[in-house]
Structure 1
């Protein structure tokens, strides 16, 4: 018997719980133990964080989601905060620890999709990240820098599976950027990203 939509939603909720726990501790100076293993309740996850991360995860296969959940579980077990590593890499504060050949391939595909989406939705994306080039601090690190830094936190198996997802999208003539922003738009009350663009 195949897995249900609820099974996928459960995986996403577990991913969000791990990610949120790591995210809120990036600049945590409140004296809490950063290695504490209790997960926050779903209700504590901010709406904005949930919106953007679920939209990102919506384009992944279930196999990729499961692999990433295992990455998060392993990191949690040893007390490694993947968000801290990601932001440190975005700021070029530490050297890369991941030289997987899949990273450059995924970045290249996502950069092409993002460029095409921006060209089609200039008003909607007018305040988004630059695609590449001069950095303006962590908040405005370029899209390519952001994607590269995040991918470097993934294990090799997750990267391999995500690249398979990318190849499938390419073979089907689909765009991950289009579908991510369609998901975002629907969650904000629009029929699609195209409809949201017309309202800008």
Structure 2
């Protein structure tokens, strides 16, 4: 699966490089290492079928001349402020009710996982996006996840929902798994290790 994840990240990076921002090119668009950590930590929590389906979605978007990463940020804007972004909404690919329902099902199931993570690791959570809400300085987890999920095909959404169910059946949290993958990519032993380091730093301040 490592090669498949590399293939997906390469496709996404090419799209990300072409995202147009109102204030000009963002610094993160020249930071491949952070991009690779963030995207890879998510995809390491997926199974092969979901990865293959999302790879196919990206290839289809490329063939159609679409940029799903630009679409994600557009969707996030209309979710946060629909009235102010009516013109933008008209330019984006329409999202079917089925896709919205599937995305809503996934975010509804991830919400308590995100809340449980915040309660268990409050110092780590303090460095993360807020759980929900709109219009703040930082896009919430709920808005970010929804915007991204709307770029997936219905097939990918169903496969991801099944993956979340599979992890839940094993007593594992998809949300915590993604965050832990990212921490391990940065050199931490895991969630508890990173939380303890933050606690020690706070005590020393």
TM-score by length of 2: 0.81
| Among 132, 136, 155, the residue aligned to 2:153 | 155
Q: Is 1:104 paired with 2:97?
A: no
2:186 alignment partner in structure 1: 188
Deviation per CA, 1:133-179, whole angstroms, max 9, x where unpaired?
13225xx1111010000000000111111111011112111101111
Q: C-alpha distance in 2, partners of 1:86/1:182? A: 24
Deviation per CA, 1:50-73, whole angstroms, max 9, x where unpaired?
001000111111000000000000
Q: Is the CA contact 1:113–1:177 (under 8 Å) kept in the aligned structure 2? A: yes
Higher helix share: 2
- Secondary structure, aligned partner of 1:63: helix
Compare 177-186 and 94-103 and name the one that shifted more. Answer: 94-103
1:37 alignment partner in structure 2: none
TM-score by length of 1: 0.83
Unaligned runs of 5+ in 1: 1-7, 30-43
The two structures, once aligned, show a CA RMSD in angstroms of 1.7
Unaligned runs of 5+ in 2: 23-29, 79-84, 199-205
Q: C-alpha distance in 1, partners of 2:44/2:143? A: 21
Q: How does 1:1-200 map to 2 (within 5 A)?
A: 8-27=1-20, 46-92=32-78, 93=85, 94=89, 97-99=95-97, 100=99, 101-137=101-137, 140-200=138-198
Q: C-alpha distance in 1, partners of 2:58/2:42? A: 16
1:98 Cα deviation after fit: 3.4
**Number of residues of Structure 1 aligned to a counterpart in Structure 2:** 177
Q: C-alpha distance in 1, partners of 2:16/2:96? A: 20
- Secondary structure, aligned partner of 1:129: coil
Q: C-alpha distance in 1, partners of 2:132/2:31? A: 30
- Secondary structure, aligned partner of 1:123: helix
Q: C-alpha distance in 2, partners of 1:45/1:198? A: 28
Q: Is the CA contact 1:20–1:45 (under 8 Å) kept in the aligned structure 2? A: no
